[in-house]
Amino acid sequence: MADATFETAPARRAPGVTRLTIFAYLLVAPVLILIVALIGYPFVFAIWISFTDQVVGNAGKWIGLANFAYLSKNATFTASIWNTIVMVVVSDGLKLLIGLGLALLVNQALPGRGIFRSFLMLPWAMPGFVAFLTWRVLYQPIGGGINLILTATGLHSGVIDWLGQRSTAMPAVIVATVWRGFPFWFVSILAALQAVPKELYEAARVDGANGWQQFWTVTVPGIRQVVIVTVLLSSIWTANGFENVWLLTQGGPSDATIVFPVLAYFGMQTQRLGEAAAVSVYTLPVLIILVLIATSLMLRDEE
């Protein structure tokens, strides 16, 4: 009997599962529990209530895709899709250009570049609501800073209602959004630039590459991964950005600047949690696609 027991006991032990392994799992368990409680549960719960007619104070009942069907027929929802795409693509494009340009500039051996770097971080360090309320004041049609400058410099006289016209409202919101967000791009790209080995540039110069060729063959591959991650993060933040639009235009005029988060907020204002959650859930596939693209590009780079 005793021999038989000794022979069967090792067979039950899962290969590689040791006390240390289990202890390690126990050590990370609190973090996992926190992640599930603080991220997993709200995430799944939001998806769940998007399929219900829940309002504040009432759990509601399962209504299938009714919230999504209602939204898809709503002209404001359609406008919010387009506006969100425009906001993300144009904002991130401009942030990339400005962030890259400034990072390349500051990466040079210039006098006072340390101060310049700190100065460029100011928009990001400023609380969002302060930044956007300041922009709102600047955009004021009467007495606003931008119109005063235009008048003083003779570029334009009269009142431009920057936030009150369809033609200028979205560009105005984008400019404020870019101003607030470009430092993140700048600092990320600058860090990546400083990690590119100098020897590569020397080798390229020896091979006769000019500045432009060095940029494309050394700099771009060197910062590519960082830019991809930055694009991903910035796109998600911009798509979920609320305070920029809300503080500047509340989604108006008409539906010129309505975006997903503002639309969801309107749903919350009317207590219809299921509908508000459905707006947010609509963005999920897009964000998942963004993550998958970025991940696959990063993995390809590693290979």
Task: Kindly list the residues in this chain that would bind another protein in the complex (CB under 8 A).
Answer: 13, 16-20, 22-23, 26, 29-30, 33, 53, 55-58, 70, 73-76, 140-143, 159, 161, 163-166, 169, 247-256, 266, 268-273
Helix (H, G, I), strand (E, B) or coil at 31: helix
Contact 260, 279 (CB under 8 A): yes
Q: How far is the CB of 163 from another protein (least distance, A)?
A: 5
DSSP state, 54?
-
- Concatenated DSSP letters of 112-162: THHHHHHHHTHHHHS-HHHHHHHHHHHH-TTT-HHHHHHHHTTS--S---T
- Nearer of residues 158 and 285 to another protein, judged by Cβ: 158
Scanning the structure block, which residue is given the tokens 């539906």? 255
Contact 145, 172 (CB under 8 A): no
* Alpha carbons 61 and 288: distance in angstroms, whole number: 27
Q: How far is the CB of 197 from another protein (least distance, A)?
A: 35
- Nearer of residues 5 and 210 to another protein, judged by Cβ: 5
- Nearer of residues 90 and 268 to another protein, judged by Cβ: 268
Helix (H, G, I), strand (E, B) or coil at 80: helix
Q: How far is the CB of 59 from another protein (least distance, A)?
A: 10
- Nearer of residues 143 and 154 to another protein, judged by Cβ: 143
- Nearer of residues 8 and 210 to another protein, judged by Cβ: 8
Q: How far is the CB of 89 from another protein (least distance, A)?
A: 23
Q: What angle do CA 252, 80, 44 make, to 5 degrees?
A: 125
- Nearer of residues 172 and 231 to another protein, judged by Cβ: 172
* Alpha carbons 181 and 99: distance in angstroms, whole number: 9
> At 252, which amino acid appears?
G
Residue 58 φ/ψ, nearest 5 degrees: -145, 125
* Alpha carbons 67 and 280: distance in angstroms, whole number: 11
- Nearer of residues 20 and 299 to another protein, judged by Cβ: 20
- Name the nearest CA neighbour of 256 among 183, 161, 182, 185: 161
Q: How far is the CB of 148 from another protein (least distance, A)?
A: 12
What are residue 58's DSSP bridge partners? Answer: 55
Q: How far is the CB of 70 from another protein (least distance, A)?
A: 6
Q: How far is the CB of 57 from another protein (least distance, A)?
A: 3
Q: How far is the CB of 143 from another protein (least distance, A)?
A: 7
- Nearer of residues 176 and 231 to another protein, judged by Cβ: 176
